[in-house]
Amino acid sequence: MNQTKPLNVLFLCTHNSARSILAEALLNHMGRGRFKGFSAGSSPRDKQQPNPLALEVLQKEGIAIEGLHSKSWDVFARADAPHMDLVITVCDNAAGEVCPYWPGQPATAHWGYEDPSAGDASEDEKRMAFLKTLHMIRRRLEIFINLPVASLSQMALQQSARELAKP
């Protein structure tokens, strides 16, 4: 794989407001120019915005939030979209949905995380759930971004990304 250009990774979730936003921002923060994170949702709500707690937790961790916004995965299925090398679903709903055809047939993997915004928890409990989710994503990404370049061919990339999903 040519490492002169970054490896593009698309993180998918249903609404593109929490887990996929966390993963996009974190990969861009950690990727050191070797990786470029993107995120999208299978069915973002009308006028969907990133969850304010996701943005708050990212900022408190020193991770840039500029440019983060919720969008449909259809944006990345268009002919003029950036080429994706890897598509990772981060919620079980999106993993079970029929994805659009991705130009270039990128490698795929599923890294499931519980929705930190779900339920009737207090604001502080949800804040802690977002922080916990961010730390779980960070652990996987630390391993992922440190894979040897030989592990980043399409087949090896898919296998490596899927292996990281195992507990």
3-state secondary structure of 8: strand
Rg over CA atoms, the chain:
15
Does residue 99 carry a pLDDT above 70? no
Burial class (CB within 10 angstroms; exposed 0-12, middle 13-18, buried 19+) of 9: buried
**Short-list 108, 100, 58, CA closest to 79:** 100
In a domain, 152, yes or no: yes
Least confident of 42-51, 69-78, 93-102, 143-152: 93-102
- Distance between start and end Cα atoms, the chain: 28
What angle, 0 to 180 degrees and rounded to 10, lies between the N-to-C axes of helices 123-145 and 19-30? Answer: 40
Asked if residue 20 is part of any domain, the answer here is yes
Q: Can you give the CATH number for the domain in which 55 is found?
A: 3.40.50.2300
pTM: 0.88
- Does residue 43 lie in a domain region? yes
Range of the domain at 49: 7-159
* Higher-scoring residue by pLDDT: 10, 1: 10
Res 1 pLDDT > 50: no
Residue 1 lies in a domain: no
Q: Name the pairing type of β-strands 35-41 and 107-110.
A: unpaired
Instruction: Count how many domains the chain has.
Output: 1
